[in-house]
Structure 1
Amino acid sequence: MGAKGKLAVGAIIGAAVGVVAGVLTAPKSGRDTRSDIRNKAEDAKDQAALKRDDAVFKAEEIADDVRVKAAEVIDKFMSGKGKNKNDN
């Protein structure tokens, strides 16, 4: 996992801990507190799924770019453009 991925995971965990701490310390009834925790957990799950989908999409884009560049390099090499100038 890269630095950006670790940062994102850390941010998500930190936000979740902060939300839980805030909800637990708020002066509400147990039912309201449990409902708030359930709602916040669902929101966090949805956000994590969005981040995961975004990461997968970006990884697929990068893989496609690498395939295109590799094909270009192979085509250049196979067409003789990759030869040294001294190899006439």
Structure 2
Amino acid sequence: MRLKDYLNKKKVEKKRAARKKAAKNAAIGAGVGAAVGITAGVLLAPKSGKETREDIAKNARKAAEVVSENTKKAVDKVSETSKKAVGTIRETINDAKVKIAEIRANKAQDEVAVSEEVSEDASDKEEG
């Protein structure tokens, strides 16, 4: 593996880790926000203990659903972005392979042309 390939691989891994961390932070933020909102609503509502406990249970389930939903969305987005990145990298690699093949073909043609010129010069000298 060449150094450039290794560095590119490390760069892609760092980006992937950063996207995962961002998704995790978004999910945590949504969960904390939901918990704070629920707590404030419960504490400020003038209800009986039983009603308050029921509301807490109901709101806890809602918060869990919201966090789960947001986490799934974040994971999907990270997955989609990773797939796009992999596709872009593959295209870039394929383009580079094509260019390298073209350069090698041109170089081979140039070498053949030079070889033919040398042969012609040698033939002309032998005749002369």
TM bin (shorter chain): 0.7 to 0.9
Partner residue in 1 for 2:89: 70
**CA deviation map 1:53-78 (0-9, x unaligned):** 00110011111101111111111111
% identical aligned pairs? 34
Structure with more relative contact order (C-alpha pairs < 8 Å, separation 6 or more):
2
| Match in the other structure for 2:56 | 37
- Output the TM-score relative to the length of structure 2: 0.55
> Counterpart of 1:9?
28
Q: Is the 8 A contact 1:76 1:82 kept in 2?
A: no
Give the secondary structure class of the aligned counterpart of 2:70. Answer: helix
Which structure has the bigger radius of gyration? 2
Displacement after TM superposition at 1:15 (Å): 3.3
CA–CA separation in structure 2 for the residues paired with 1:45 and 1:55: 15
Equivalents in 1 of 2:32, 2:96: separation in Å?
Answer: 48
Runs of 4+ in 1 over 4 A off after TM superposition: 81-84
Compute the displacement of 1:18 (Å): 2.6
Instruction: Check the 8 A contact 1:23/1:33 in 2, yes or no.
Output: yes
Shift of 1:26: 1.6
Is the Cα–Cα contact under 8 Å of residues 23 and 36 in structure 1 kept in the other structure? Answer: yes
| Structure 1 gap segments, 5+ residues each | none
The runs of 5 or more residues in structure 2 that have no matched partner are 1-20, 108-128
Shift in CA distance, 79/31, structure 1 to aligned 2, threshold 3 Å: same
Structure 1 residue 52 corresponds to structure 2 residue 45: no
Residue 8 and residue 56 in structure 1: after superposition, are their counterparts in 2 closer, same or farther (change >3 A)? closer
Number of equivalenced pairs: 85
Q: Compute the TM-score of the two structures, normalised by the length of structure 1.
A: 0.77
